[in-house]
Amino acid sequence: DFYEILGVPKNASDEEIKKAYRKLAMKHHPDRNQGETSKAAEVKFKEAKEAYEMLSDPQKRAAYDQHGHAGVDPNMRGGPGAEGFGGFAEAFGDIFGDVFGGGRRGHGGGRQVYRGSDLSYAMEVTLEEAANGKDAQIRIPSWDDCETCHGTGAKPGTKPITCTTCHGAGAVQMRQGFFSVQQTCPQCQGKGKIIPEPCTSCHGQGKIKKQKTLEVKIPAGIDDGMRIRSTGNGEPGTNGGPPGDLYIEIRLKKHDIFERDGDDLHCQVPLSFTTAALGGEIEVPTLAGKAAIDIPEGTQAGKQFRLRGKGIKGVRSSYPGDLYCHVSIETPVKLTEHQRKLLKDLEESLKKGGAKHSPTGSSWTDRLKSFFSG
């Protein structure tokens, strides 16, 4: 199980999966395991690598969550032993650059670059909007170059200087036993430069945080808890690194009439006492308008009527779900004396007719007799 290999729950976030993989890869990397433990460490390293390759890809992870290993094309993943370690630095440098020296490097001075953090945004939508889709606008934070220092981070009239600790490399080499470890420079935090006099407007960051309007397309059929990914609209990267992504999480508002269950809808339909007894036709609401239901004579409380195709067509569904109408029989209230007399006369007439007028009550009476006699 890929989740067990990484030691994370099935609902783990992308960041949790990445951190778990980094921890295992550093623990079992061949450079850190020599001698008798090297073979076992190599197997665990390849397992962790395979698990991360699968769970870090949204499409592969979705297929694996739904169908397990059978849902993942074996030709799409590099199983244990498929790649060896030759492409390790190239494939995973962005994760282990600060440990093994394989990190991405900028084009000027060899500085290490880092991807920006992802952002999360909760969006509330109505049931109608979720069913039909919509185009929405949201306000999210953005970062623009500081107009005072023009993005340098230095006070006007001054400029950054090369870090004296790493000499502009952004990283320093440290010897640990029989191998060396490359770490982010503690002096410049990997930037390769130091700002003696920071800009007072941006405090040396070179960027100013602002707000921007983003157009978001909500697909028809989206459900509560689903996420929409907006690539590149997260926080900016460091030293020219790529920005993170924005994840828009859908929150479904409570509806006055309907309750959603997957692609199906449910609603409570009040039914008058006389209609339940005599039968008839009533109108019920749907998301597309009104629909008619034939109520058979003698309908009991709790009866359920199913309207096929009147639910919601989910984002991954081929056909829409159904609408389930649950009958709730209303008891008359605030009766006049004349109405009371009519009901009493009706009750006397029903009693004379025997159990045939009250199938549920007759069954209940029989069960009570059996219970007390036993």
Give me the CATH number covering residue 216. 2.60.260.20
> Is 269 within a domain?
yes
Please report which confidence band the pLDDT of residue 237 belongs to, taking 50, 70 and 90 as the band edges.
confident
Asked whether residue 348 falls in the same domain as residue 269, the answer is: yes
Q: Is residue 177 part of a domain?
A: no
Do 210 and 270 fall within a single domain?
no
The pLDDT score that the predictor gives to residue 312 is: 95
Rounded CA-CA distance 244/189 in Å is 19
Task: Kindly tell me the sign of the dihedral angle through the C-alpha atoms of 49, 55, 60, 61.
Answer: positive
- What are the tens digits of pLDDT across the range 141-168? 888 888 888 888 888 888 888 888 888 8
- Longest CA span, the chain: 105
Residues 221 and 239 in one domain: yes
Query: Across the chain, how many H-helices and E-strands are there?
Result: 9, 15
Are 331 and 362 contained in the same domain? yes
Q: E strands within 96-202?
A: 119-125, 134-145, 161-162, 171-176, 179-184, 193-194
Report yes or no on 104 lying in a domain: no
Answer yes or no: do 327 and 208 share one domain: no
- What pLDDT, on the 0 to 100 scale, is given for residue 99? 39
pTM, two decimal places: 0.57
Boundary of a domain, candidates 228, 254, 280: 254
Query: Would 99 be classed as within a structural domain?
Result: no
Q: Say if residue 241 is in the same domain as residue 131.
A: yes
> Is 92 among the domain residues?
no
CB 343 within 8 A of CB 273: no
Structural domain harbouring 359: 259-373
- Which residues share a beta bridge with 180? 175
Share the mean pLDDT of the chain.
Answer: 80
- Within a domain: 28: yes
Q: Evaluate whether residue 178 is within a structural domain.
A: no
Q: Is residue 96 part of a domain?
A: no
Tell me: do 273 and 327 sit in the same domain.
yes
Instruction: Identify whether residues 227 and 129 lie together within a single domain.
Output: yes
Is the domain of 316 the same as that of 248?
A: no
- Least confident span in 5-14, 36-45, 211-220, 272-281: 36-45
Domains of the chain: total = 3
Of the candidate ranges 127-141, 259-273, 348-362, the one whose mean pLDDT is the lowest? 348-362
In this prediction, residues 57-81 reach a mean pLDDT of 62
